[in-house]
Amino acid sequence: MPARFGDNRAMPFPVNVAVHPSQFPENVRRDLLESLRRRRVNPKFLYDSLRQTQKWLALHQACSPTRTDPDCAAIYDRSFEAAARHIQARHIHVIGLGCGGGQKDTCLLRLLQSRGAEVFYTPCDVSVSMVLVARHTAIAVVPEQNCFPLVCDLATADDLPAVLSSRRSTSWRVEAERRRLDPRLFTFFGMIPNFEPQMILPKLAALVRQQDGLLFSANLAPGPDYGRGMKRILPQYDNPLTRDWLMTFLLDHGVEKRDGRLRFQIESHGGLKRIVANFQFARSRRLDVDGRKFEMRGGQTLRLFFSYRYTPERVRKVLAGHGLEVEGRWITNSEEEGVFFCRRKGRC
C-alpha cells in the first residue's frame, strides 16, 4: 500500500524546508488583511492550510485534465522529452514554481535521470503542505540530499534569482563557481491562470538565463471563438468540488454558507478572458481577523478566485512581450490545455 502524506512511517526524519520572508507570519498577516480590505482574496490563501491543500488535491484528482484526459498526460510527456533533448547536461536543477503535488515534476525528474543526468530539485510553493507533498513525491526519484523545498510567495518575492542560486546542498555550493553555467529547467504548471500576467511574467522572465529552459502550461479556451470557448469550460469551475474548496477560506474566517451565495461568471480583463468566483453576501457579516474587523454588508461581493484562459497565440504573445520565445508547443485534442517549451530570446 502506498504511504500517505503525513504518515510518519513514510517520513521518519525531520525535513528541512526553507521559508522565504514573503511567507513570514507578519507578511502573511499583512497580505490577508489587505485581501479583506480590498475584497479580493489573494490566491495564496486558497492553499494556506492543510485542509485547503487536501481539498485542492481532491479537486485536482477529480477534475484536472491531466487526471481525466489521457491526451493531456501525453502532451506533458512529449514536452518533457523535448526539454530533455534541448537541455543536455551532466547536472540539471529542476525548479518547480508552484509545484502543487509534484506529480508532473517527478515525471520530468525521472526522465532526466534516466538520461544519465544528476538531478537536483527545488519544489517551490506558497503552501508548506503542498511543498511537503511535492517533496515526498519527488524523493522516490531524487535523493533526499538533492531536494531543497522552498516556501515562497512568487507574487511578492523580489529576490528569487539570488534565493534560487543558493538553494543547493553543501557539496553543490563548494563547486558553485564551476557549475554556475549549468542549466536550470523551470516548470510553471497550472500557475499562470491565477496570476495577473503583467505582474508575474516579468518575475518569471528574470529567472530564465540564456542556458535555462522553461516548461510553461496554460489552460486554454477551446475553439476559434474565444467567448464561446469560455462558456464551454465554465462547468469545470462551477461544480461542487470547486465550491467546497473555495468556501473553505470563508468558513475558516467566520462566514457561514447561508450568509450569501458563490457565483461564477466570465469577464474580460486586459484583453484576456477569465473565470471569476465572487461570494455575494445576502446579509451583513462581521469578520474579526487578528483584532481587525471587516464589515461585509448585504449585497457586497468578495472575490474569491479568478482563472485566466488563453489561446495558443495569446500565450506566445504574452511570453514574447517579456523576452521569452516559444520553441515548442503541445496542445490537447480538446484544445483546453497546452504546454510550451520556452527559452530566452536572442540566445546564441
The pTM assigned to this predicted structure is 0.87
Nearest to 87 by CA among 123, 125, 119, 122: 119
- pLDDT reported for residue 79: 97
Handedness of CA 19, 2, 96, 273 (dihedral sign): negative
C-alpha distances (whole Å) from 191 to each of 96, 216, 218, 342 are 11, 9, 8, 16
Nearest to 2 by CA among 116, 97, 133: 133
Ramachandran angles phi, psi of 317, nearest 5°: -70, -45
| Neighbour order of strands in the sheet with 337-344 | 18-19, 150-151, 118-125, 91-97, 184-188, 213-219, 337-344, 324-331
What is the helix, strand, coil percentage profile of the chain, to 5?
Answer: 40, 25, 35
**b/e sequence 317-326, b meaning 16+ C-beta within 10 Å:** ebbeebbbeb
From the CB of residue 16, how many other CB atoms can be counted at a distance below 10 Å?
10
pLDDT tens digits, one per residue of 77-129: 999 999 999 988 899 999 999 998 899 999 999 999 999 999 999 999 998 98
- pLDDT reported for residue 70: 85
Q: What cell numbers appear for 80 in the block?
A: 518533457
On the question of pLDDT at 245 being above 90, the answer is yes
Q: What cell numbers appear for 214 in the block?
A: 522553461
pLDDT tens digits, one per residue of 10-47: 546 789 999 999 999 999 999 999 999 999 999 999 98
Given a contact cutoff of 8 angstroms between Cβ atoms, the answer to whether 286 and 294 are in contact is yes
Given a contact cutoff of 8 angstroms between Cβ atoms, the answer to whether 154 and 160 are in contact is yes
- pLDDT reported for residue 62: 84
On the question of pLDDT at 64 being above 80, the answer is no
The interaxial angle of helices 312-320 and 197-207, nearest 10 deg, is: 60
Domains and CATH numbers, the chain: 18-222+310-344 (3.40.50.150), 226-309 (no CATH)
Q: Which residues contact 256 (CB under 8 A, 6 or more apart)?
A: 285
On the question of pLDDT at 348 being above 80, the answer is no
pLDDT tens digits, one per residue of 270-319: 899 999 999 999 999 998 888 899 999 999 999 999 999 999 999 999 99
d(CA 308, CA 298) in angstroms, rounded, equals 28
- pLDDT reported for residue 180: 59
d(CA 251, CA 253) in angstroms, rounded, equals 5
Q: Which residues contact 142 (CB under 8 A, 6 or more apart)?
A: 109, 113, 119, 120, 121
Ramachandran angles phi, psi of 165, nearest 5°: -70, -25
From the CB of residue 272, how many other CB atoms can be counted at a distance below 10 Å?
17
Give one DSSP letter per residue of 108-127, joined into a string.
HHHHHHHTT-EEEEEEEES-
